[in-house]
């Protein structure tokens, strides 16, 4: 059981906001949903697995958070449209879109089929664009449910894999590189035209996530002790706090950046 960490932010920092979080039913997406809720936001979770969503929504509601779950696959444009519309119908506005849904598995490039490559690109990159595209009508200033001066926010969950090169991750590295590029392009166009801020977070190794258990079993946990500059693996809480910062007014001049939250992990070289 993880220790409950107190937030350094005021509890009403996101009061009145509505967030839609893809992949919000589990992992980092769920922790972001939880912390948005604890800081005053209402949250809609989108995911493919009904039972996972239901359990997540119940857990949030038991904390007194206004939460709802909608089944859907970000690869399907109709699902994206329906879930965004349903979120608006349920809460009357959408302020924040978090793209946390991601696909992943370890495979060497030689054994990865083009369709396997495409599958992860479809989830991470095309899925992110699709959600942003379908949500624009709600997020832009003067959009459905909002006044004509304030736009919403987009947060894309990325990775640091593609800053260098990562073994057995050609598909995810390519997909996250595209996500970072989407973050910059939308920050430029939609910042200027619609007052929407678009940012990303690149988590490092984070305890108790599919990313860590599936991709970096056992050895990273022992390696981490010696190799991570801060000598530890991060918590989902660390990512969620960065998310709260970026979508709050504290981050009002931050646009088009992907904030690395990895304890300095990707910079690491062996000590000599
Ligand atoms: C090789 C694989 C494969 C595997 C799927 N494929 N799994 N290839 N090794 N383990 C190939 C298939 O052979 C197929 O290609 C194509 O991918 C589609 O497979 P499906 O099973 O039909 O896809 P689908 O059911 O849609 O599932 C896609 C999925 C997804 C990507 C496997 O279910 C998934 O990843 N779920 C896990 C979600 C997750 O863990 N998220 C957290 C991500 S962490 P062919 O050619 O055979 O048709 C993260 C962190 C990154 O992103 C940074 C870490 C440090």
Domains in the chain, CATH or no CATH each:
18-206+234-261 (3.40.50.720)
Q: Is residue 107 lining ligand 1, measured as CB closer than 6 Å?
A: yes
Atom from ligand 1 closest to the CA of residue 160? 53
DSSP-assigned states of every residue in the chain? -PPPPPPSS-TTTTTT-EEEEETTTSHHHHHHHHHHHHTT-EEEEEES-HHHHHHHHHHHHHTT--EEEEE--TT-HHHHHHHHHHHHHHHS---EEEE---------GGG--HHHHHHHIIIIIIHHHHHHHHHHHHHSTT-TTS-SS---EEEEE--SGGGS--TT-HHHHHHHHHHHHHHHHHHHHHHHHH--EEEEEEE-SBTTSHHHHHHS-THHHHHHHHHSTTSS-B-HHHHHHHHHHHHSGGGTT--S-EEEESTTGGG-----
State pLDDT tens for residues 27-74: 999 999 999 999 999 999 999 999 999 999 999 999 999 999 999 999
Q: Kindly provide the ipTM of the predicted complex, given to two decimals.
A: 0.96
Provide the pairing of β-strand 42-47 with 197-203. unpaired
Pocket test for ligand 1, best of 24, 101, 104, 107 (most atoms within 8 A of CB): 104
Q: Is residue 15 lining ligand 1, measured as CB closer than 6 Å?
A: no
Atom from ligand 1 closest to the CA of residue 114? 46
Atom from ligand 1 closest to the CA of residue 116? 17
Give mean pLDDT in consecutive 10-residue pieces for the chain, a chain of 272 residues. 80 98 98 98 98 98 98 98 98 98 97 98 98 98 94 98 96 98 98 98 94 68 60 91 98 98 91 80
Strands (E), the chain: 18-22, 42-47, 67-71, 96-99, 153-157, 197-203, 258-261
Q: pTM of the entire structure?
A: 0.95
Q: Is residue 113 lining ligand 1, measured as CB closer than 6 Å?
A: yes
221, two tokens: 């946990």
Q: How many angstroms separate the alpha carbon of residue 175 from the centre of ligand 1? A: 13
Atom from ligand 1 closest to the CA of residue 159? 53
pLDDT at residue 272, rounded to an integer: 79
Q: How many angstroms separate the alpha carbon of residue 96 from the centre of ligand 1? A: 27
Please name the residue whose Cα sits nearest to atom 25 of ligand 1: 119
pLDDT at residue 221, rounded to an integer: 56
State pLDDT tens for residues 175-200: 999 999 999 999 999 999 999 999 99
């Amino acid at each position: 059981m993880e220790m409950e960490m107190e937030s350094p932010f005021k509890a009403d920092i996101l009061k009145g906001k509505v967030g839609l979080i893809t992949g919000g039913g589990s992992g980092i997406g769920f922790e972001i949903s939880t912390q948005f809720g604890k800081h005053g936001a209402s949250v809609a979770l989108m995911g493919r697995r009904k039972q996972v969503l239901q359990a997540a929504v119940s857990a949030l509601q038991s904390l007194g958070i206004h939460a709802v779950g909608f089944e859907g696959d970000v690869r399907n444009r109709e699902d994206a449209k329906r879930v965004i519309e349903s979120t608006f119908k349920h809460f009357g506005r959408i302020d924040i879109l978090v793209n946390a849904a991601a696909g992943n598995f370890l495979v060497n490039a030689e054994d990865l089929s083009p369709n396997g490559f495409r599958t992860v690109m479809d989830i991470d990159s095309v899925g992110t664009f699709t959600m942003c595209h379908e949500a624009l009508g709600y997020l832009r200033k003067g959009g459905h449910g909002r006044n004509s001066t304030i736009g919403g926010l987009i947060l894309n969950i990325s990775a640091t894999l593609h800053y260098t090169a990562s073994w057995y991750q050609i598909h995810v590295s390519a997909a996250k590189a595209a996500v970072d590029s989407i973050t910059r392009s939308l920050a430029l166009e939609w910042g200027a035209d619609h007052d929407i801020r678009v940012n990303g977070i690149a988590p490092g190794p984070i305890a108790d996530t599919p990313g860590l258990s599936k991709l970096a079993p056992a050895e990273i946990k022992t390696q981490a002790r010696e190799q991570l500059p801060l000598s530890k693996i991060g918590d989902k809480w660390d990512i969620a706090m960065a998310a709260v910062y970026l979508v709050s007014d504290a981050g009002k001049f931050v646009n088009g950046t992907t904030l690395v939250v990895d304890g300095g992990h990707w910079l690491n070289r062996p000590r000599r």
